[in-house]
Structure 1
Amino acid sequence: MFFKELFDFLKFAASPSTVLLTINTILFAWFALKTKIKVYSILALYLATIFIIQNYGAWLAFKGTNNLFGTHYYFILQLLWLAYFYHEICKLQIQKKIIRYSVICCLIVLAVQYSLKPELYFKFNELEVFLCSYLLIIYALFHFYNLLGAKRKFLFFNIGLFVYLFGSTILFLVGNLNLILKLDSINTELNKLIYTIFQLFILAEGIYIFYMLNAINVKSKLIHGKH
């Protein structure tokens, strides 16, 4: 009985983005363990967090239970992990300060909102989605600026995140048209497509990192071989 239910759930939750997320989580966890580099650990923990939230939300949906409260953990934890990530890779102190203070302000605003309207915990919080996504778009733009004339670093990840958040925000802003044009199902499918593209960019980043790590290992062996 248990295995049948588990199999039914896997069929219910299976999607290209879920498969890619699983692969990316394992890949970056391996990078983190192999290199002990902090930014790889941050990305691995971010992906693992999203993996857990998405699968738990899918399980609740599979069981017919309201899972909207999971979106709060998704957007807030995504903001925290990726703000930490961009704080680590940004070189300019002004950018680091903006990241720190903007995250604090965002959390304060949301804390006040939830204290005034606790019923929002079981609903889709539009302000939360906008604030968390908008801040990450700004951080991604910081990184694009820092890459000008510099060595390519997390470019694929940054492009993927920017496309995903920008596209999702546009879909969110035009969401009011759903009532008139009945675009809800179309928006949902477009959002899934954009998220799958994001995961493909993360995979491309992982492949690039894997290639670079192998190149470094080969070069190191050649140098030691000469001695």
Structure 2
Amino acid sequence: MDNILRLVGVFGFLPLAVVYLFTYSKNAHNRPYVFFCLYLCSITVINTVSGLMAMNRINNLIFSHVYFVIEFITLIFFFRELLNKKQRNKIDITVIVVFIALLSLFGFHGLDMYNLKPFDPLEILLCSLPILVFSAMHLYNSISAPLKFIYVTIGLVVYKIVSILLFMVLNFANTNGNNYRDFLDLLWTLNRYFLVVYFGLIFFEWYRNYMRMKVD
């Protein structure tokens, strides 16, 4: 079961990218849809390359950092299209602050961080916390009006909350040797289960709103 979850975690974005691209032509006018497709395709490429490298025992640590940065960029553009004008200004400011912080982090640690550490807690917070906040803002907006990509947003909020907590704990455990190996395995398994839930909600969003190639 654990091996199946691991494979789903690595390659699960691929079928989702395929189904969203299948109805892309009828939704090309829908800018949130376009950016979400970009997110799915980008993460699919990163996960596939990283997974294949891991299977061939090739060092792929840098891809964990690429994953967080690309996820941040694509989902920030996605939510920028979903939120209102006043909230978009907050996104623009956040992007500037995060990129300055990431550049400072890279300048301080250099390439060692990308070659030796799979997860940097500050990098994870910088890239993941804004996504969680803007997801929550979109859900709040949906209280007063029906909005797009609600199922995706719900899945993202749940997965991001769990993911941020898990990666913080994983980083602590990784710095304290192999004493936490069993606990680490449990955390990874939980993370994969919540990722499967997220995948399910992404597919349900497509099935409910885009499978028949609706034009919004």
Quickly name the TM-score band, shorter chain normalised: 0.7 to 0.9
Counterpart amino acid of 1:77?
I
1:162 is aligned to 157
Per the alignment, in what secondary structure is the counterpart of residue 174 of structure 1? helix
1:143 is aligned to 138
2:206 is aligned to 206
Q: Which of 53, 66, 72 is 2:65 aligned to?
A: 72
Counterpart amino acid of 1:47?
L
Does the CA contact (< 8 Å) of 2:159 and 2:198 recur in 1? yes
Per the alignment, in what secondary structure is the counterpart of residue 210 of structure 2? helix
Q: Output the CA distance in 1 between the equivalents of 2:61 and 2:20.
A: 28
Deviation string, structure 1 residues 100-119 (Cα, Å, up to 9, x no partner):
11111111111111112111
User: Matched residues, percent identical?
Assistant: 24
Q: Give the drift of 1:149.
A: 2.0
Per the alignment, in what secondary structure is the counterpart of residue 149 of structure 1? coil
Per the alignment, in what secondary structure is the counterpart of residue 148 of structure 2? coil
Q: Output the CA distance in 2 between the equivalents of 1:195 and 1:13.
A: 9
Structure 2: tracts of 5 or more residues without a match: none
Aligned residues: CA RMSD: 2.3
Mean Cα deviation higher: 121-130 or 197-206: 121-130
Q: Output the CA distance in 1 between the equivalents of 2:185 and 2:162.
A: 16
Deviation string, structure 1 residues 166-193 (Cα, Å, up to 9, x no partner):
0111212333357465411111111111
Whether 1:131 and 2:126 are equivalent positions in the alignment is yes
Q: Give the drift of 1:12.
A: 9.4
Mean Cα deviation higher: 154-163 or 171-180: 171-180
Q: Output the CA distance in 1 between the equivalents of 2:63 and 2:72.
A: 14
Does the CA contact (< 8 Å) of 2:26 and 2:213 recur in 1? no
Whether 1:110 and 2:102 are equivalent positions in the alignment is yes
The structure carrying a bigger helix percent of its residues is 1
Distance change >3 Å, CA 43–CA 160, structure 1 → 2: same
Q: Output the CA distance in 2 between the equivalents of 1:81 and 1:47.
A: 9
Whether 1:96 and 2:91 are equivalent positions in the alignment is no
Report runs of 4+ in structure 1 exceeding 6 Å deviation: 11-14
Deviation string, structure 1 residues 117-149 (Cα, Å, up to 9, x no partner):
111121222211121111100010110111012
Counterpart amino acid of 2:99?
L
Q: Which of 46, 59, 64 is 2:52 aligned to?
A: 59
Aligned residue pairs total 205
Structure 1: tracts of 5 or more residues without a match: 1-10, 218-227
Does the CA contact (< 8 Å) of 1:53 and 1:70 recur in 2? yes
Compute the TM-score of the two structures, normalised by the length of structure 1.
0.82
Does the CA contact (< 8 Å) of 1:32 and 1:38 recur in 2? no
1:24 is aligned to 16
Mean Cα deviation higher: 108-117 or 28-37: 28-37
> Highest relative contact order (Cα 8 Å, sep 6+), 1 or 2?
2
